[in-house]
Structure 1
Amino acid sequence: MQEDKQHRVSEYGTMDSVIWTFDGIQAGHSISKFHTLTSFPGSSDTDVVRFHFGMKGDYSFSYKQLNRSYDLIGGHHNIMYSKGFDIEVQNKTLELEIFGIQFPKALFVQFTQQANAPLQRFAENILQGKNVMLSERWGSIDAPIQQVLQQIIHCKYGGDLKKLFLLSKSIELLVLCAESYEAANARQDAFLKSKTDKEKIIAVRDLINERVHCPPNLSEIARTVGLNEYKLKRGFKETFNNTVFGYLTEQRLQLAHQYLRDTQKTAAEISFELGYATPQHFNNAFKKKFGVTPFSIRNNP
């Protein structure tokens, strides 16, 4: 397994990235910071299946091989295939955070030929050499997908154990994404109609992530992003398949799990830091989520 960290400086700004290569699979995470709004090309001649996760930031891009253009806001994902690609990207915010996975074509087909119907059709198109996107409707990065992405980015394992971990998490992302597209396509007409409202719901998600330790209430969130509470609750549930409170609870508990693994903070300290009323309340919520107590995580990492 290889890990390659890079810091690049260009006329557009800077990009910090890390790329993991294992078992023919390549996963990568990058944060780009721009001086200005601009456009720039991207290309590759590799014959692979690409998972794309836009974690933060807004941008549009044209995809030559698909003859399509997409206008995207932070918190989206899709799976695509073409033999090589040529794109032109237009950033609409000064910071973009991207995560991607590249599966060898044969390996991806092996994993998906017996999967659900959309993945089977996608695999058949790949075998026929067609340039194709798994879903016309881009999926949203909900809490389960976000948690797996963070687990990969902050993985503390090394060597063969890390390779096994990354492989298992890559397959988990495939399953979660397929489930997400199936749910999105099964939904009737979307509640959120305008791109502006969708951007505001993404801003709600970002606000919660930034304030997990001291979360705002619904009224404060609604005022901050400029949505009424009804549209906020309906739009958030539609986008992330969870309530605002449910999403906050997920983020708190995942952060607690990370603290227990990676720091020496006690369970009591973590419960206080994350805003739980009592350590017992934290202990009960943690056990309900993970099936084990915080104490067992600390003693069996």
Structure 2
Amino acid sequence: MGFEFKNEGKPFKMAFDEDSFKGRDFKDEVFKIKLPDGELSSKQWIFDGIKILYAEADLDRPAELDWTGDTELVSMHFNLQGSTSIQQDGMNGTFELKKNQHNLFYGTQASGKMRFDELKMKSFMIQFQKDAFLDISKNGNESLQRFADKIVSGSPTAFSDSNLNIDLSQLNCIRSILNCDYSAGLKKMFFLSKTIELLVLQAESFHNSRFSAAAYLKYDEDKERIIFARDYLVKNMESPPSLIELAKIVGINEYKLKRGFKEVFHQTAFSYLSDLRLELAKNQLLEGKKQATEIAFELGYCSLQHFSSAFKKKFAISPNQVRP
């Protein structure tokens, strides 16, 4: 059966079954599904027992989709917008991935609800056939090895008992996949390297959370405000507010904003913003459509000299040395 979605009792079947992984050819597919109250669109790439899937949904009103699946897969979930609940047969409890959260799951029988918040959902997922995942993860850290042992035993499991926050390095990796414009042969190599990189980042983030000190942010409401602060900075990166102004905007004090942001994203708010600007600048330079001066001012740098200095400090080359 693969995966089946239902809204108000009406089924919408999607080809996420095991047969779709077969073959050695690189597959690049786009599809759209009309829903009663909107549309679900998706891009997917399939190669060597791996499927990369990016999905967006736009609805006219809030809704839920019931979903079920019966395919043995290892799935890396990155919830970029909206929330998804997952009830996995053989696992205790329900996992709910909220905005900006990720986790890694293995199972054969699953069900749950996909909820659409703010009338929009964005989700990124990498799915592996069991053998493909075990081959890639065989030299991983202790946490990844324990997860692999559960897979070998056939025990449905989640990588982390609690979902983790998507950090900037993971987000940049996802963006590089979605924005990749290599030809099919090079794209397959690039996607495989980025799949491994994202798995490494995910395994490391779990390891760090497991051995870190007790969390400073105790309540989901505070975590959501930190996510909102990040989103506000990203939307206003060309003219960002001060830390005091940002704290007022999100409704928490400056101290909690500073401590909370570093706990969630592993760096300060303006270090995050600086890294994001420079990563975006590098990608735009590689595209070759804009000059460094134009990029610098669009991203909020006060001068080309300031931009060039920051760029060279991060990447060890000047903007003019970047070639598409």
TM-score range, shorter chain: over 0.9
- List alignment gaps of at least 5 residues for structure 1: none
User: Which residue, out of 108, 111, 119, partners 1:94?
Assistant: 119
SS of residue matched to 2:62: coil
Aligned pair count reads: 299
Identity over aligned pairs, percent: 38
Which residue number in structure 2 is paired with residue 125 of structure 1?
A: 150
- List alignment gaps of at least 5 residues for structure 2: 1-25
**1:172-206 deviation line (CA, Å, top 9, x unaligned):** 00000001111111122211111111111111111
Matches within 5 A, 1:49-64: 49-64=74-89
SS of residue matched to 1:66: coil
The change in CA–CA distance for 1:59 and 1:115 in structure 2 (over 3 A counts) is closer
Higher mean alpha-carbon deviation, 128-137 vs 69-78, is at 69-78
d(CA) in 2 for partners of 1:183, 1:12: 41
d(CA) in 1 for partners of 2:121, 2:100: 11
Which residue number in structure 1 is paired with residue 295 of structure 2?
A: 270
TM-score (normalizing by structure 2): 0.88
Higher mean alpha-carbon deviation, 247-256 vs 72-81, is at 72-81
TM-score (normalizing by structure 1): 0.94
Task: List 4+ stretches of structure 1 deviating above 3 A.
Answer: 58-65, 90-93
Residues 89 and 109, structure 2, Cα contact 8 Å, conserved in 1: no
Residues 80 and 123, structure 2, Cα contact 8 Å, conserved in 1: yes
**2:65 is aligned with 1:44:** no
**2:249 is aligned with 1:224:** yes
Residues 59 and 92, structure 1, Cα contact 8 Å, conserved in 2: no
**2:140 is aligned with 1:111:** no
The amino acid across from 1:48 in the alignment is L
Report the alpha carbon displacement of residue 61 of structure 1 after superposing the two structures with TM: 4.0
The amino acid across from 1:186 in the alignment is F
SS of residue matched to 1:135: coil
Report the alpha carbon displacement of residue 65 of structure 1 after superposing the two structures with TM: 4.2
d(CA) in 2 for partners of 1:80, 1:71: 12
**2:57 is aligned with 1:32:** yes
Which residue number in structure 2 is paired with residue 200 of structure 1?
A: 225
d(CA) in 2 for partners of 1:4, 1:84: 25
d(CA) in 2 for partners of 1:12, 1:201: 31
Which residue number in structure 1 is paired with residue 100 of structure 2?
A: 75
Which residue number in structure 2 is paired with residue 162 of structure 1?
A: 187
The amino acid across from 1:137 in the alignment is S
The change in CA–CA distance for 1:162 and 1:296 in structure 2 (over 3 A counts) is same
d(CA) in 1 for partners of 2:118, 2:195: 28
Report the alpha carbon displacement of residue 59 of structure 1 after superposing the two structures with TM: 4.5
Report the alpha carbon displacement of residue 13 of structure 1 after superposing the two structures with TM: 2.0
The amino acid across from 1:210 in the alignment is K
d(CA) in 1 for partners of 2:136, 2:285: 33
**2:37 is aligned with 1:20:** no
SS of residue matched to 1:265: coil
Higher mean alpha-carbon deviation, 170-179 vs 63-72, is at 63-72
SS of residue matched to 2:72: strand
